[in-house]
Amino acid sequence: MAKPRHSRFDCTPGCSVEAAIGLIDGKWKSIILWQLLSGTLRFSEIRRNVENCTPRMLTNQLREMEADGLVTRKVYAQVPPKVEYSLSDLGRSMEPILRALKDWGDANIGLYGKPNGHDPRDAA
């Protein structure tokens, strides 16, 4: 497993939350993990499913998650190169967390959208 980004956690209440969030921080990692819940995907398939992520950013995010032990990468020796990504056991263990985030998002997405140019948070 990769060296943790935070070399020392002080074990105050919440440090385990900080450690967990540190693995999936950023805009794309949780979305990529969500896509990989369905099974092994090639880079181009992930790219199609994560529409607004640039290829460079997707590559960086996948590399970080591979280094953190969340994603496994399999390279096939062929031309053109074929690379497949899948969740490791550690990555798969995040499934309940990702599903809970999705459920919360489904229940509350209306609070944060701007339907018809109106932001519900401005109702006060």
- CA nearest to 102, candidates 24, 13, 12, 34: 34
Q: What is d(CA 71, CA 86) in angstroms, rounded to the nearest whole number?
A: 6
Q: pLDDT grade, residue 124 (50/70/90)?
A: very low
The structural domains of the chain, with segments of one domain joined by +, span: 29-111
Instruction: Tell me what pLDDT residue 37 has.
Output: 97
Which class is domain 29-111? Answer: mainly alpha
Q: What is d(CA 107, CA 2) in angstroms, rounded to the nearest whole number?
A: 35
Q: pLDDT grade, residue 8 (50/70/90)?
A: low
- CA nearest to 62, candidates 37, 82, 84: 84
Residue pLDDT, tens place only, 57-111: 999 999 999 999 999 999 999 998 899 999 999 999 999 999 999 999 999 988 8
